[in-house]
Amino acid sequence: MPDQSRDEILTAAESDGLISPETAFGTLCRAAGLNPTEMTPMALDGLVASASAASLQSVSQLALAEMLERLGPAPRNAELAEALASGLPQDLLEEALRLPGGILRTADALRAAAVDTPAPPPAVFTAQPVDIALEPSLLAALKEGAEILFLQDALPPAAAPARLVDVSQAVSPDGFEDGFLISAVDAAAADMKDGIIILTGLGAAVMALGLDYASDAGIAAGAAMAALVRSAATGAAFSASHAKALGLQARKSGSKRPCRVMILPVTDPMATLPDCESDGAAPVRAVLTYGDDAPSLIRAARIGLAARAPEALPGVLDRIGNSGTQDLETALGTARLRDRGFTEAALDRVGRALGEGLPLNAAFSRWVLGDEIISHDLKLTPENFDADGRGVLSAMGFSRADIAKAEAALDGAGEAIAARALQECGFVVDVSPADEIRFAAACNKALGGGVIVSVSARAGLDMAEAVIADGLSAHLVGHRAPAGEDVRDRMEHILSLAEELADEADMPQTSPEFHEARSAARTRLPDRRKGYIQKATVGGHKVYLHTGEFDDGHLGEIFLDMHKEGAAFRSLMNNFAIATSIGLQYGVPLEEFVDAFVFTRFEPAGQVTGNDRITRATSILDYIFRELAVSYLGRDDLAEVDVTHDGLGRGAGDATREPAEFTEEAAQIISRGFSRGHLPDNIVILDKRRAEKQAESDLDADAEELESPAYLEQGCESCGSFTVFAISEDGDTSCDTCGEEGRVSK
């Protein structure tokens, strides 16, 4: 095959989402290059300790950041003394006063460090039955969120080239496009030397063919697709039995290639192949996707249902589109909501929001209900319910237990409706662990090994034992256990006592509020400035977001470009961006813009592609300000996709290296927004002299900002402190230390 032809095939396959670009194997698998060892009590104890330490580090950093934020940008000495008495570490305060940017900059750094706390590397053990004596320690590690692999064979080195292949993209409404799949895999294998092909989407491919995952035909089809990819990648024969399962022709063995085909859990599948609808050899876990106005079936389910029961497809889609109202009835009951003052308009808005996949707290928030409904219908103050709709429900008479039950009822309610609809059409959606193991074992046999099965820690160790017994490797994913009911009740009692003690001491409780860090005067941006460009598609409409930053890395301007829209809409968006930029330069906090515009609802809206953290938006403004909040404020609560070390990871850098702090020197040359507040670990600041001068300049500027009010030369007659400042033009003075008032000495 000519090189140009190979390049064209790979380009087309990557564009269609069939195959990923070439990358290092270590980027796709965090356990790459790790050799399996024997499981021992010492190894498990160390695993528990490292997982607990990572979690505690993140929690403590967030707590310290909140304590600093309560102080504001320029606290007085008396306020700092109170903070020290309340438990603020002295060393941290000294560091905050020393660093450029002061208190708030230190708080931002702590929050960024908490978000970027690296997850401990996975523990890799030899695949063998777990000793009964070690089971308690193993379960304890999993409850702390540890990641454990039981491997039959060692994994390839991290530097090996690899590509991810989504087999489901080879199934179209016209059937299985084997020619396209074979050509793409053949080109990829020829392009990589000693490369690795990682298969995924087998469960979705079987569904798209109109087959049940656990049926004999479905298992045979999955194994046959795995064998076909192996044949195209390595030159191995494609047997007649496998060919019969797919209705294809058998293939003789050809020239051998040192390529390896595997099935294993990928570190960040959404970033690699965002359209993939199932992982590895696992079944389809979710059959719903959320579009512009309502949920719908995923691509594989639509194609499979069209092949199996085409007459039922329109009815199923309509039933799923109206699932939001059913969710609301299941969760809280529309009659109970009406009795507590919710009008039909409010119920309609909440139902549509739930149908679009928003959680309960967002569906009942101010941004969905609107100020008019909250103030006039519910008789509440809208400003008190900006972010969390649980407060609205609580104010309308729903208990904490009612809200918790409603959230539990909504968890997977739409999926349950869709699953029932598919089952009524003959699809078997529920898959048992035994069926999943049978499917994986068939694929493992077709590939000659190299299959790793993901096992949720919630399923216990039985499934992992069964996987190992069948000659497969197992990947156990831990889940950090939440606080129990006893802990939550105790914390509620402690907080109540704290409020009582504060009232008795006549000390008003402080809350984390934003304190304006900039003056009312406009701060001009530098002529040559940093920033980033984010391209995304919202509901099918391309949006280009350009940002400009101050020298310290804070956001100072935005530009919005939607070049295919009409002139009126495009002009409105451009002028809105200008107005926002002017507000930022006059000191309006970005938090205020975020609170004002997130979850606003107007078209275009719907699915978001091209952004690594946001998958859907209720409007262009909702997308823009959630993106800015995630990039510049560390607001991971406004993102649907977790790419932190606590979730799916950040790729090649998260295996062994610690993330570097985002220093003041780096802020001068690196866009804080582009790196999402995380300093790339391949950046080294060499110009130490320039950095020192800049630090001294920033300290002088901060000192000038903190000099208000200016202290007089005379000492206080009461306490002797040189903290006396003028409070009137007539010579009246006050002491900042003891509060004693007097007059200027003549």
Find, among 631, 445, 152, 268, the residue nearest to 276 by Cα.
Answer: 268
* Phi then psi dihedrals of residue 658, to 5 deg: -75, 140
Minimal CA–CA distance to 43: which of 114, 149, 161, 162?
Answer: 149
How far is Cα 289 from Cα 641, in angstroms, rounded to an integer?
14
68 close to 87: Cβ distance less than 8 angstroms: no
The rounded distance, in Å, linking the Cα atoms of 635 and 583 is 20
Q: Do residues 649 and 117 make contact, with C-beta atoms less than 8 angstroms apart?
A: no
Tokens of 113: 């460090």
Contact 660, 681 (CB under 8 A): yes
Q: Which residues of 523-559 are buried (b: 16+ CB within 10 A; e: fewer)?
A: eebeeeebbbebebbbbebebebebbbbeebbbbbbb
Tokens of 705: 């900002």
Q: Give the pLDDT score at 98.
A: 80
Neighbour tally for 286: CB within 10 Å = 14
pTM for this one?
Answer: 0.55
Report helix, strand or coil for 582.
Answer: helix
Quote the CA–CA distance of 103 and 97 in Å, as a whole number. 7
Residue 583: exposed, middle, or buried by beta-carbon count in 10 A (0-12, 13-18, 19+)?
middle
Q: Which residue has the tokens 């409404």?
A: 173
DSSP-based three-state secondary structure for 519: coil
Per DSSP, what are the bridge partners of residue 473? Answer: 452
Give the bridge partners for 162, in sequence order. 23, 196
Beta pairing class for 724-726 and 616-617:
unpaired
Helix (H, G, I), strand (E, B) or coil at 607: strand
Q: Using the structure block, give the residue that is written with the tokens 């695993």.
A: 47
Closest among 123, 127, 164, 114 to 30, alpha carbons compared: 123
**Which token pair is 381?**
């103050």
Would the CA dihedral through 650, 656, 661, 665 be positive or negative?
Answer: negative
pLDDT for the residue numbered 25: 92
Contacts 24+ apart (CB under 8 A), 545-552: 545/624, 545/627, 547/628, 547/631, 547/671, 547/673, 548/581, 549/525, 549/671, 549/672, 549/673, 550/523, 550/525, 550/526, 551/526, 551/667, 551/668, 552/100, 552/101, 552/105, 552/664, 552/667, 552/698
Read off the DSSP letter of residue 37: B
Distance CA(517)–CA(561), nearest Å, equals: 30
| Sign of the four-CA dihedral 437, 438, 439, 443 | positive
- Is residue 717 within 8 Å of residue 734, measured between CB atoms? no
Q: What does the alpha-carbon distance between residue 459 and residue 433 come to, in Å, rounded to a whole number?
A: 9
Concatenate the DSSP letters of all residues of 202-237 into one string.
HHHHHHHTT--TTSHHHHHHHHHHHHHHHHHHH---
Burial 93-105 (b: 16+ CB within 10 A, else e): beebeebbbbbbb
**C-alpha neighbours within 13 Å on the C-beta side of residue 359:** 14
Among candidates 544, 522, 548, 326, which has minimal Cα distance to 421?
Answer: 326
**pLDDT < 50: residue spans in the chain:** 1-2, 506-519, 645-660, 705-708
pLDDT of residue 604: 83
Task: Specify whether the CB–CB gap between 360 and 410 falls below 8 A.
Answer: yes
Give the CA angle between residues 730, 731, 735 to the nearest 5°. Answer: 135
Q: Are strands 606-609 and 533-538 parallel, antiparallel or unpaired?
A: antiparallel
Sign of the CA dihedral 203, 207, 209, 215? positive
Detail the DSSP E strand segments found in 470-578: 473-477, 533-538, 541-549, 555-561
Ramachandran quadrant class, 314 (left: phi over 0; alpha: psi -120 to 50; beta: rest):
alpha
Looking at 613-706, list the stretches that DSSP marks H as alpha helix, in order from N- to C-terminal side. 620-632, 664-667, 688-706
**One-letter amino acid of 597:** F
Task: Return d(Cα 239, Cα 199) in angstroms, integer.
Answer: 19
Q: At CB < 8 A and 24+ separation, what contacts does 703-710 make? A: 705/73, 705/74, 706/74, 706/102, 708/74, 709/736
What pLDDT sits at residue 246?
92
711: Cβ–Cβ under 8 A, 6 or more apart, which residues? Answer: 722, 723, 724, 725, 736
